[in-house]
């Protein structure tokens, strides 16, 4: 459970998209499109074989335990609404890990605590005294979040009726170290010492701590592990378990899973793991050796007394390289030599750019070190705000009144605001002297402001917006909405910042229709207000101002490669594949346009080389390489000694903005875990549980011996189409650079590309065109996972659900889990090859029925 959501300003991240530009959506793909009388579990994006609660918000899986024929799945749940809050434990049970029965709320928040993540055990020997030996108690060990202090401690609750009803232990908490970053206990019985073993996270310190107990109530600290591996975000939801290597029960290794957010391999949330040994007290990770980057030619190391031929704008980078940390900055490390580019001059408030001279691309890779803020470049942004585009201004809020706009509630006051309101942070980015500002009396007020009706007669609606990011369709939105025939057809939010920036709706499909603008503030929590100005119709898209801290490669005037820090003062390697730009002119540009937290950039050691350098994140081990697999933990006591794992199928970057209603959040398919030797190294692998086969319907559609060259074509035909599919495909490599399958193809160019890149030896998922992707700038993109072809062949197993794909490469050593939100009519499946030929040896497509009972 990521309590950084509550502390360290992270609560805004869990309920809103961390976007560089305003979150935009079109209503045909928004929650409003779900009819009020839609039967449960048939809504537009409702997963059909992944667990979701009937209603409301869900995140981390908790309390995974098998008892008396039932797999128990508890989970972080908000009984009060469809956004994060009032954290409690929801509950579901299954006999096969596929068909789930939702049960009543298990552990509820109260006026003193929220019930954060944890685990559950069956106390067979009644060590706790909560049950009897004939009727042992199920004991939940959870993190208690104290509402008054923010302190996180470990507490107990118990049940003697198979988890149906629960009693919180009167002696809670059982471990309290006074920390606000101490959470997510995973408890198991450790037979060699006949005691309970707790694995728990010291999240901000990037450590895992181990405790031992005889009775679940009194705990003794054993040891700590970490920092190690990826540390770009908080460590959460740890899990520790043994597995046989390659099925050899005489060769046991231990796996320590540590979920991290942000700083995952695909950005944002992810599940990393370590393989090693556990001696009953201490976990020791296997030594992976010292990393040596590829050799090459250094083109800029910032070791001189000035920037040489590189040019600066603004003040952020100063007049010369920095000798480490600057005034007011934490310790900077990871750079080489004595100098680096550092944009912390005058702190995070300064902006500017540092640009190399033009050069001809003549190397395969450009390697460099980067640190500082994690504010990615967003295509379409500009470095300076220019004048508004030509067009018709609907409202500029300059007249001292709202004119013929109508208000409800008291959030917007009786007239436009002259700028910043009392107790508000500085508001900027608006035009003229007036704007809409719903911070009247702070965030506690609510209301609406609605325009008179107008006719859409141009291609775009442009406007400036800032304030809170609570999307339309969430329980308590702060949103600008476009209404046509009384229905919301477009919406936008701020970005949890007081600075206004341009948003733009493409309304070409609505030209000629009557419309209204409605500004909604229905939120009384943090960032529960909205700033809006200069609403206009135009045939030109207004371009938002960049808020990036990024190193960019510019070719033909366009940013074609980009990298950021990870909100850390430690520099790490990044690498760009330059081969697509061979012979072209290029420039490197370091850009700092961010004045908020971590609003600075560090860079050093630009090196041309024949091989890519790998960052700590790339060198870490990941249970899943997708964007949407987090808080992964495993079941205790599973029959046959099996180790099954499940993760929250979402990402804190945009978890509160995904377009689902009346629920938000899904769990991955449960996976059977194993340790296998892959390319000479012991790796954690995962494959879907076998019981998925119980959902298969009808005869499979098959294909074999299909030769492809530079083409994309339907796979098999209509028999292979669908929204819920289980696909197995084997390809024989020839000379194609890329090949694979496209799923959920169809309406409006929808497609989710699942492929293999022979030039990088990576499996990938491209969801750039997977339907609704514009609710957050970090959502669209390509995720990759290393995968070596075996005997010239690549095998893919793909589970397609109504709003997700899970791809398992090889024997499960490469896994990518991604949410997708395509049009329901997009059900096609295609096979493709790019820049060469490939042979599809075999493909089997099976339709999957619903698991909902």
Residue 791, both tokens: 């005997």
CA distance linking residue 654 with residue 23, whole number of Å: 10
Task: List C-alpha distances in Å: 280 to 273, 588, 767, 792.
Answer: 19, 51, 44, 43
Write the secondary structure of 2-53 as one string of H (helix), E (strand) and C (coil). Answer: CHHHCCCCCHHHHHCCCCCCCCEEEHHHCHHHCCCCCCCCCCCCCCCCCCCC
Q: What are phi and psi of 673, to 5 degrees?
A: -100, 150
CB 668 within 8 A of CB 800: no
CB 679 within 8 A of CB 788: yes
Beta 828-848 vs 814-819: how paired, if at all?
Answer: unpaired
CB 81 within 8 A of CB 57: yes
CB 519 within 8 A of CB 448: yes
Task: Write out the DSSP string of 739-790.
Answer: EEEEEEE-GGG-EEEEEEETTTTEEEEEEEESB--TT-TTSSSEEEEE---B
CA distance linking residue 568 with residue 333, whole number of Å: 10
Q: How many other CB atoms are there within 10 angstroms of residue 212's CB atom?
A: 18
Residue in 60, 239, 522, 818 annotated catalytic: 60
CA distance linking residue 215 with residue 670, whole number of Å: 30
**Dihedral of the CA atoms 144, 150, 152, 158 (nearest 10)?**
-10
CA distance linking residue 82 with residue 96, whole number of Å: 28
- Could you say which DSSP state residue 807 is in? E
600-626: b or e for each residue (b if 16 or more CB lie within 10 Å)? bbbbbbbbbbeebbbbbbbebbbbbbb
CB 25 within 8 A of CB 659: yes
What residue has token string 């005058």? 346
Task: List C-alpha distances in Å: 761 to 785, 786, 836, 842.
Answer: 9, 6, 16, 21
Q: Which residues contact 279 (CB under 8 A, 6 or more apart)?
A: none
Q: Which residues contact 291 (CB under 8 A, 6 or more apart)?
A: 614, 619
Clarify whether 539 is annotated catalytic: no
Which residues does residue 57 pair with via DSSP β-bridges, in sequence order?
Answer: 664
Answer positive or negative: Cα dihedral of 694, 696, 698, 701: negative
Which residues does residue 588 pair with via DSSP β-bridges, in sequence order?
Answer: 553
CA distance linking residue 219 with residue 584, whole number of Å: 63
Residue 481, both tokens: 């909405």
Q: Which residues contact 765 (CB under 8 A, 6 or more apart)?
A: 626, 752, 753, 754, 782, 783, 805, 807, 816, 818
- Could you say which DSSP state residue 412 is in? T
CB 456 within 8 A of CB 511: yes
CA distance linking residue 777 with residue 5, whole number of Å: 20
CB 411 within 8 A of CB 476: no
- Could you say which DSSP state residue 286 is in? P
Beta 56-67 vs 663-664: how paired, if at all?
Answer: parallel
Residue 360, both tokens: 């001809």
CA distance linking residue 799 with residue 4, whole number of Å: 32
Residue 438, both tokens: 């719903």
User: So which residues are the catalytic ones?
Assistant: 60
């Amino acid at each position: 459970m990521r309590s950084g959501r509550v502390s360290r300003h992270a609560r805004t991240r869990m309920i809103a998209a961390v976007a560089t530009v305003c979150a935009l959506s079109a209503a045909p793909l928004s929650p409003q499109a779900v009819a009020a009388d839609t039967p449960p579990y048939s809504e537009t994006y409702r997963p059909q074989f992944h667990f979701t609660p009937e209603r409301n918000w869900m995140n981390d899986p908790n309390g995974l335990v098998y008892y008396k024929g039932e797999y128990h799945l508890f989970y972080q749940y908000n009984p009060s609404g469809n956004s994060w809050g009032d954290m409690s434990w929801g509950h579901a049970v299954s006999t096969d890990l596929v068909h789930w029965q939702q049960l009543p709320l298990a552990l509820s928040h109260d006026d003193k605590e929220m019930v954060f993540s944890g685990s559950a055990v069956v106390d067979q020997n009644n060590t706790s005294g909560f049950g009897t030996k004939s009727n042992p108690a199920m004991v939940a060990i959870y993190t208690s979040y104290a509402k008054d202090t923010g302190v996180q401690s470990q507490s107990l609750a118990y049940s003697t009726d198979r988890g149906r009803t629960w009693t919180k232990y009167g002696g809670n908490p059982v471990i309290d170290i006074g920390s606000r970053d101490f959470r997510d206990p995973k408890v198991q019985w450790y037979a060699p010492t006949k005691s309970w073993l707790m694995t728990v996270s010291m999240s901000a310190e990037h450590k895992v701590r181990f405790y031992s107990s005889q009775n679940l109530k009194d705990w003794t600290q054993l040891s700590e592990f970490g920092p190690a591996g990826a540390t770009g975000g908080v460590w959460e939801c740890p899990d520790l378990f043994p597995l046989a290597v390659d099925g050899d029960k005489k060769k046991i290794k231990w796996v320590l899973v540590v979920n991290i957010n942000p700083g995952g391999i695909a950005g944002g949330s992810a599940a990393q793991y370590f393989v090693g040994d556990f001696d009953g007290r201490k976990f020791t990770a296997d030594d992976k050796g010292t990393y040596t980057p590829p050799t090459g030619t250094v083109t800029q190391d910032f070791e001189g007394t000035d920037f040489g031929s590189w040019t600066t704008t603004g003040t952020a980078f100063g007049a010369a390289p920095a000798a480490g940390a600057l005034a007011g900055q934490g310790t900077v490390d990871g750079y080489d030599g004595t100098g680096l580019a550092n944009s912390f001059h005058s702190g995070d408030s300064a902006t500017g750019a540092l640009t190399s001279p033009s050069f001809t691309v003549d190397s395969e890779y450009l390697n460099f070190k980067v640190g500082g803020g994690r504010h990615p470049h967003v295509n379409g942004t500009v470095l300076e705000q220019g004048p508004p585009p030509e067009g018709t201004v609907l409202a500029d809020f300059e007249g001292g009144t709202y004119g013929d706009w109508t208000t409800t509630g008291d959030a917007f006051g009786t007239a436009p605001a002259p700028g910043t309101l009392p107790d508000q942070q500085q508001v900027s980015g608006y035009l003229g002297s007036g704007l809409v500002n719903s911070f009247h009396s702070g965030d506690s007020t609510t209301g609406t402001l609605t325009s008179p009706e107008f006719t859409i007669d141009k291609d775009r609606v442009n406007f400036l917006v800032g304030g809170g990011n609570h999307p339309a369709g969430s329980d308590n939105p702060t949103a600008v909405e476009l209404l046509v025939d009384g229905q919301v057809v477009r919406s936008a939010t701020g970005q949890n910042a007081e600075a206004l920036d341009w948003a733009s709706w493409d309304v070409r499909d609505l030209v000629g229709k009557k419309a209204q603008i409605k500004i909604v503030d229905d939120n009384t929590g943090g960032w529960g207000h909205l700033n809006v100005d200069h609403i206009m119709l135009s045939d030109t898209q207004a371009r938002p101002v960049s808020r990036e801290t990024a190193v960019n490669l510019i070719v033909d005037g366009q940013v074609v490669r980009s990298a950021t820090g990870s909100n850390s003062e430690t520099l790490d390697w990044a690498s760009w594949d330059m081969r697509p730009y061979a012979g072209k002119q290029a420039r490197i540009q370091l850009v700092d346009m961010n004045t908020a937290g971590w609003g600075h950039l560090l860079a050093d050691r630009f090196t041309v080389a024949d091989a890519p350098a790998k960052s700590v994140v790339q060198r870490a081990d990941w249970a899943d390489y997708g964007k949407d697999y987090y808080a992964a933990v495993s079941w205790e006591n599973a029959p046959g000694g099996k180790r099954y794992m499940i993760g929250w199928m979402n990402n804190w970057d945009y978890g509160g903005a995904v377009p689902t209603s009346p629920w938000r959040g899904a769990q991955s398919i449960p996976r059977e875990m194993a340790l296998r030797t892959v390319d000479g190294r012991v790796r954690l692998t995962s494959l879907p549980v076998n019981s998925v086969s119980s959902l298969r319907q009808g005869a499979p559609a098959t294909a074999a011996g299909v030769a492809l060259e530079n083409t994309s074509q339907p796979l098999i035909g209509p028999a292979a189409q669908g929204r819920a599919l289980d696909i197995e495909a084997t390809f024989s490599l020839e000379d194609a650079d890329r090949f694979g399958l496209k799923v959920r193809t169809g309406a409006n160019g929808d497609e989710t590309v699942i492929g293999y890149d022979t030039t990088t030896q990576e499996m990938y998922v491209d969801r750039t065109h997977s339907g609704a992707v514009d609710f957050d700038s970090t959502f669209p993109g390509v995720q990759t996972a290393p995968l070596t072809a075996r005997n010239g062949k690549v095998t893919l197993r793909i589970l397609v659900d109504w709003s997700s794909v899970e791809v398992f490469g090889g024997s499960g050593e490469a896994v990518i889990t991604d949410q997708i939100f395509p049009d329901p009519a997009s059900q096609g499946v295609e096979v493709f090859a790019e820049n060469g030929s490939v042979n599809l040896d075999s493909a089997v497509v099976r339709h999957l029925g619903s698991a909902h009972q």
